[in-house]
Chains A and B, each alone.
Chain A
Amino acid sequence: MKAFVIDLSVCNGCYACQIACKDEHVGNDWTPYAKPQPDTGHFWLGIKETVRGTVPKVMVTYVPMLCMHCADAPCMKACKPGAIYKREDGLVIIDPEKCTGCKLCMDVCPYDAIFMNSGLNIAQKCTGCAHLLDDGWEVPRCVDNCPTEALKFGEEKDLKKYIAKAEPITPDVKLKTRVYYLNTPKKWVSGTLYDPKEKEVIAGAKCTLTDLETREAIIDETNAWGDFWFRGLPDNRRFKLKIEKGKKTVTMDSICTDTDRNLGDIALK
């Protein structure tokens, strides 16, 4: 069974994968695999980019999203004319000649991976570049274009060491998806500690972040920039932060991880 592995820790957001899909499918007719994709507006593979944090603690996360080629594909079940089928290698295909454009598949896909081609009145999505695989290619175009090997493709059994570390991607639904994500974004809390009198950052301060629900505490120490970083935090939890250095302490209550939190430059008086 074919599978994708996407390592978000090395996705640099270059969009070469998104463009590969367009280069392969816009203006090219690969019937019976797929009819041409419209020039713009379809993202059979689309990058979702998120700017996280506030000045000066800001980063960008890029997530390539595509058809998950689910083992239990709900689109197949929903398709009345039976246009959606699974190949022996596990790739899920919408037969462009059987599709009637009823959009039922679009309604049931939790990943919004199916697009309506209104010109041709058919639903379209990622084919895993099956036409190329059948012509001897080893990987689809998006994977070939990826400069950092963030995207991988192959037999599920050959990708086991990655799949073992895979994490669910939003929305987390149990459909036995065949696109596996590594290093998915987790919330963080950060800030910079400084001495307002000396106008110096404070390194080596003990920072304790306590989950107000579980009372679990995580400890970090400010680095040479005066920065502390709590990474890998769960979503939508409330925390209390205590920072100590010598006899001085500062506490901050009710830090919510509904979003990534830059607590700014914090004065330790």
Chain B
Amino acid sequence: MASRKTKDKTVIRALGLGGLLGGSSEGLVDVKDGKIVRVRPFHYDWKYKKEDIKTWKMERNGKVFEQPWKSLPGPFSLAYKKRVYSPNRIKFPMKRVDWDPDGERNPQNRGKSKYVRITWDEATDILAKEIKRIHKAYGPYGILVQGDGHGECMTIHTPHGHSGSLLDKMGGFTQQVRNPDSWEGWYWGSKHVWGQGIQGGMFPAGNIVKDTTEHAEMVLFWGCDPETTPWGFTGQMPSRLTYFWKDAGIDQVYICPDVNYGCAVHADKWIPVLPNTDAALQLAIAYTWIKEGTYNKEYVKTHVVGFDKFKAYVMGEEEDDVPKTPEWASKKCGVPEWTIKALARQFARKVTSIAHYFGGGYVRGPFSHEPGRLEVCLLGMQGLGGPGRHHHQITYFGLPRSNGLSGTFFWNPDLADRLRTPSLTTINAWQKQLIPKTYIHDAIEANEPMTFYGSGAIEVDTTDQFKKYVYPLPKKEGGTEIHMIWSDTPCRTTCWNNGNATELALRNPKIECIVTQHPWMENDTLFSDIILPSNTHMEVGDIVSSIRGGTSIPNVALCDQAIEPVGESKSNFEVVLEVAKKLGMEKAMTGGKTDEDLKKEMFTNMRLDKLTTWKEFREKGYYLYSVADDWEDDSPGLRKFYDDPEKNPLPTPTGKLEFYSEALAKNFPHDRERPPVPKWIEKGPTHDERLSSERAKMFPLILMSNHGRWRVHAQADDIPWTREAPTCKIRGWDGYMYEPCWIHPSEALERGIKHGDIVKVFNERGIVLAGAYVTERIRPNVAYMDHGARVDMIKVGEIDRGGAINTISGSGTSSRNAVGQATTAYLVQVERLSMEEMDRWRREYPEAFEREYDPASGLCVNAWLEGGEK
């Protein structure tokens, strides 16, 4: 048979969705006739010979783990084509039909009114005029920039922060501070035990994969899903590693309320704990060790401060306190007493590491700093830093160091000083007037200045958590309430705390203009006044470093443009340039440099000029890093501290592991939600979300929210091919594809719910519709829904059909003095939705049901265009 031409050209792409500071999940994109034909894994030997690159391997019990010679992207990365050609793509600039910058602005109709097409010229004229007007009326801090978070993997055209770069040159702006959105408990908790760390996790964490491979006998996957969260960041390396560990004889124990996707295929033992009750389980483990004398007393003596106070609390020696026995813990955490004891004994007997990736339910609930701190205490009691005893963000940190890279943290060589300005907004609080992302809705609605401790920025010192901030700043410092929002990050409603309150806040008349730049018509975008169409990575060329831990072979690639932009869309950088032109700021933004100049500049910033030449790099299209010759000598994790804590102190005030934090005691003497010694917090002024609560009489299930298997936060909810997986969406009797809500058969039976029924998941904060997924993969007492499904409001601020479960999560932060989000482990009820109730909503909110909808991919941009797409 005559062969067919199967492509015209091939370009490299970073297909990850972690975005912000570099790429991952590299792939090759084949293009034919100007369209993407296929997206496939990257075979690194495309332009390199295998013998030219030095790779690593690890061994245990005769089994060998090697670097794969291809990338291992997750399924949504491999279905990237569907995101590019999604029926939800915004193809041209739009204006809300009843928003008139020279007349009535109708903020009360945000989230309800439709849009009309306008030209780029009209859109940028309006926007330039609004910026000038706000600056004049209120000052530069009158504009809030939401320009941070995850997204597609680009460098020059990075999806976030360009508007901040522009406004910074015009006097500054109010910055939405990007807070931890996956590691809350470590950031607000663990940092007070072992110091700064990266994002609060263990640091240094170099070379721990090899050390664990060689020495560990057991790994506790504590709230960790190695088959889900890594997908968006670097792909499926943790899958291969955990299969290898199994082969090598390392026990894998999963402690989580759900049979998550890692547990489903890797677990030697599943311990189904109730959501956000891990602190009780941890305390009972500590109790058992103290009672039986099975902790490392020598290590504790030399490496820990405050053990006496910790011990007194655990053993119930304090006044009015109870011993934290397995019997006590069992009632809190729902694990049988005998299994708690078995876990404690195994943990003491076997060389054990704890593995996470990013936190799912485990470190993201109310008071998440307590389990965050307690796990460090447990590791400390068994000699943290010793052979095989580590805290993993599995493969994200701890794989062998590459030659020419100082670490494996996104960037070469250092992070902050090498970043392009837009990315600053993602990691630093670099403006004067700040609002933590968790407080945006409160800040809009507040009539009095708000104060808070800690900006919550990723890269700030632990001491920032003791610093008092105020919004707005005093007038003499330029402070003002915000009156305009410019967002390239329109996902707050579905990814952050209390989305329903956010929806309502976005209608506040104080906010005179909301402009959003985004490729898809989704989530907060639906509340905008002006919408600018940005495009995807496929439509713009860039230079992207894929050196995040877990990349098969770290590399930097030139990602040449694959296809022409869809519609009139432009890259996020180009979108802001269009506005800059109208403000006379174009030159200030580009520095007079072309795209190719900027790529060369990045090449040098990445210090690739020390390793190769631009010419060779251009020709090959990518550079592969060899493993460092001496990588096996790199001291693993906290080994130096383990060996000699006096010479190698931790970055804590005392240099030791602080089981009692003097700094917390001094700064927050009255904080009973995050006391100096980590504790079990039943409830507090910030949260009352446990089964023991009075509220549980009305809302008797704990809602657990993980990172989505089929999404990265709000990204990739529109891929028809992942939506066919039975755990991705569930077709309701009305043909709508609902977000699944997992409940145990016993809970379903009690409620007359059958698999596939449309159910309502609700509490005082609103109602979310879902498809019942009745399964043994979740323990009783729990309703489980991933966050990040796109909002599809039946009634704004109250009823959501899209399955955006965070719309009904609490407003409160991690605790009183910790501005993390607490978007899992809160009380709800689940009921079968009757046809009568659905019909009533159809009558009351007809526009919500008349919007164009495509069951295969979900929401459509046409639904929001006056008269459909013109």
Contacts and interface: CB of A to CB of B under 8 A. Distances in A.
Do A and B interact?
yes
Interface of A: 10-16, 18-20, 22-24, 26, 28, 30, 32-33, 39-41, 47, 49, 51, 53-60, 62, 87, 130-132, 134-135, 141, 144-145, 147-148, 192, 194-195, 199-201, 224-227, 265
Contacts of B271: 56
Interface of B: 1, 3-6, 37-41, 72-75, 78-79, 81, 227, 231, 235-236, 239-240, 243, 259, 261, 263-265, 267, 269-272, 326-327, 336-339, 341-342, 345-346, 349, 720-726, 744, 775-777, 779-780, 856
Contact of A40 (B75, B243, B720): B720
Contacts of B40: 20, 23, 141, 144-145
Contacts, number: 158
Contact of B339 (A11, A22, A58, A192): A192
Nearest to A20: B78
Contacts of A54: 776
Contacts of B269: 225, 227
Nearest to A17: B75
Nearest to B39: A23
Contacts of B240: 147-148
Nearest to B74: A14
A23 B3 contact: no
B75 A16 contact: yes
B777 A16 contact: no
A56 B270 contact: yes
9 contacts: A23-B721, A54-B776, A55-B779, A58-B263, A59-B265, A131-B4, A134-B4, A201-B341, A224-B346
A201 B6 contact: no
B856 A60 contact: no
The 6 closest A-B pairs by CB, nearest first: A60-B264, A147-B236, A147-B72, A134-B3, A194-B338, A199-B337
A199 B261 CA distance: 31
Nearest to A46: B724
A58 B776 contact: yes
Nearest to B3: A134
Given A12-B236, A23-B39, A24-B38, A60 B779 contact: no
Residue in B4, B227, B235, B270 with the greatest tally of chain A CB atoms within 10 Å: B4
B726 A199 contact: no
A16 B339 contact: no
Contacts of A55: 272, 744, 776, 779-780
A135 B6 contact: yes
Nearest to A24: B38
Given A13-B265, A55-B780, A134-B1, A148 B75 contact: no
A24 B263 CA distance: 31
A23 B780 CA distance: 38
A9 to B, nearest CB: 8
B342 A225 contact: yes
A31 B41 CA distance: 25
Nearest to B270: A56
Given A16-B74, A49-B726, 18 more contacts: A13-B264, A14-B239, A15-B725, A19-B722, A20-B40, A39-B720, A54-B776, A56-B271, A58-B776, A59-B265, A60-B261, A145-B78, A147-B73, A194-B338, A199-B326, A200-B338, A201-B342, A265-B338
A62 B263 CA distance: 13
A226 B345 CA distance: 12
A13 B75 CA distance: 10
B239 A53 contact: no
B267 A224 contact: no
Contacts of B722: 15, 19
A14 B75 contact: yes
Nearest to B336: A265
A224 B345 contact: yes
Contact of A14 (B227, B259, B342, B724): B227
Contacts of B6: 30, 131-132, 135
A199 B264 CA distance: 28
Nearest to B330: A199
Given A19-B75, A201-B338, A265-B336, A13 B261 contact: yes
Residue in A28, A55, A59 with the greatest tally of chain B CB atoms within 10 Å: A55
B678 to A, nearest CB: 26
A49 B775 CA distance: 13
Contacts of A30: 4, 6
Contacts of A24: 38
A53 B777 CA distance: 9
A203 B690 CA distance: 34
A131 to B, nearest CB: 5
A108 to B, nearest CB: 25
A135 B3 contact: yes
Given A12-B261, A13-B261, A56-B270, A200 B341 contact: yes
B342 A224 contact: yes
Contact of B259 (A16, A59, A130, A199): A59
B75 to A, nearest CB: 5
A29 to B, nearest CB: 9
Contacts of B264: 13, 58-60
A29 B613 CA distance: 41
Given A134-B3, A144-B41, A19 B777 contact: no
Nearest to B746: A55
B338 A199 contact: yes
Contacts of A11: 265
A3 B714 CA distance: 40
Contacts of A195: 338
Contacts of A135: 3-6
Contacts of B721: 18-19, 22-23, 26, 40
Contacts of B326: 199
A199 B341 contact: yes
A91 to B, nearest CB: 11
Nearest to B258: A58
A195 B270 CA distance: 20
Contacts of A15: 75, 722, 725
B748 to A, nearest CB: 13
Contacts of B270: 56-58
A224 B38 CA distance: 49
A200 B267 CA distance: 22
A6 B780 CA distance: 35
A10 to B, nearest CB: 5
Contact of B336 (A19, A131, A141, A194): A194
A199 B325 CA distance: 12
A148 B239 contact: yes
Contacts of B259: 51, 58-60
A60 B258 CA distance: 12
B192 to A, nearest CB: 33
A16 B78 CA distance: 7
A127 B267 CA distance: 36
Contacts of A199: 326-327, 336-338, 341
A130 B349 CA distance: 54
A87 B4 CA distance: 16
A56 B4 contact: no
Contacts of B780: 55
A147 B41 CA distance: 9
A92 to B, nearest CB: 14
A226 B74 CA distance: 36
Given A32-B1, A131-B4, A194-B336, A141 B38 contact: yes
A40 B724 contact: yes
Contacts of B267: 59
B346 to A, nearest CB: 6
A187 B630 CA distance: 48
B720 A10 contact: no
Contacts of A56: 270-272, 779
A63 to B, nearest CB: 13
A2 B383 CA distance: 54
A193 B574 CA distance: 65
Contacts of B81: 23
A201 B288 CA distance: 15
A183 B265 CA distance: 13
